[in-house]
Amino acid sequence: MNNGNQGDNMNRDNVIEIQGLKKSYDGGKIKALNGIDLEIKKGEFVSIMGPSGSGKSTLLNMIGALDVADEGTIEVAGIDLRSTAKLNEFRSQEIGFVFQMHNLIPNLTVRENVEIPMYETDLSTNQMRERALKFLKAVGLEDKADQIPTKLSGGQRQRVAIARALVNRPSIILADEPTGSLDSKTGDVILKLLSDLHEKENVTLVMVTHEPYVGNMAERIVNVLDGKIQN
Ligand SMILES: Nc1ncnc2c1ncn2[C@@H]1O[C@H](COP(=O)(O)OP(=O)(O)OP(=O)(O)O)[C@@H](O)[C@H]1O
Ligand SMILES: [Mg+2]
């Protein structure tokens, strides 16, 4: 498709456009990303699959501006991530992260954990509290708001992580094995939550998974091998 002018002539339907993205570690010895080309459309549900160490998390971190590439171009929600000075703003407005290990902060309550992304906004303390409770209700955990995360089950913690990812109404959700640490029944609840969001709110969903049946729920599977896309 349109690959001519990079950046200023972006295809409007694509919310993510990546060209020739490279990232290496250990002084170039480990090529985590070795020339990734990827386009994802607005509202699309894509799963990213591939063996352990193939670069899936690195790729997701690049899309969410948690890490910086060595080479190539990456544009997300119309923003050139290499040149913008407003990465925090970009992240808090556009991106909801659900990590491989739901990294909740153990000495904050469930509600406070959900409030974290809103610190970047100009909402008042009361507005943050109300919004956090609303999203905890949406994931069925309003009664756990004042609990600390270590007292919750794995599935409950992952639901808190999802509430936290959604609280700023991101246009893109990046989920890194959101069901990896859960039993299959709890995992199904999480998957249903995520796919409902994609269907009802037209959120773009990019999900890393090892499970073929999870991958098959997506509209498209992108296979990563040795830092490159296979299909
Ligand atoms: N911060 C880092 N420092 C050094 N090497 C790293 C770093 N992060 C990732 N790597 C290496 O980059 C490669 C890709 O890692 P990545 O975490 O993206 O893999 P993955 O596909 O997500 O694997 P998994 O399925 O096990 O989560 C691996 O060889 C990994 O060891
Ligand atoms: Mg990973």
What pLDDT, in 10s, does the model give residues 164-220? 998 988 999 999 998 877 778 878 888 888 888 888 888 999 999 988 988 999 999
CA-nearest of 106, 88, 56, 73 to 3 is 73
The reply to whether ligand 1 has any atom less than 6 angstroms from the CB of 54 is yes
117 within domain boundaries: yes
9 within domain boundaries: no
Which domain covers residue 62, as residue numbers?
14-229
**Mutational pocket test of ligand 1: of 22, 31, 49, 54, the residue with most ligand atoms within 8 Å of the beta carbon:** 54
The CATH number linked to 76 is 3.40.50.300
In the chain, the percentage of residues whose pLDDT exceeds 70 is: 94
Tokens of 206: 């990019």
Domain count, the chain: 1
45 within domain boundaries: yes
State the average pLDDT over residues 51-75: 95
7 within domain boundaries: no
167 within domain boundaries: yes
State the average pLDDT over residues 115-121: 90
Q: What pLDDT, on the 0 to 100 scale, is given for residue 7?
A: 45
CA 56 to ligand 1 centroid distance, Å: 8
Ligand 1 atom with the shortest distance to the CA of 227: 14
CB 32 within 8 A of CB 227: yes
- Average pLDDT value over all residues in the chain: 89
1 within domain boundaries: no
The reply to whether ligand 1 has any atom less than 6 angstroms from the CB of 25 is yes
Ligand 1 atom with the shortest distance to the CA of 23: 12
pLDDT category, 12, cuts 50, 70, 90? low
In 30-175, alpha helices (H):
56-63, 87-94, 110-115, 125-138, 154-166
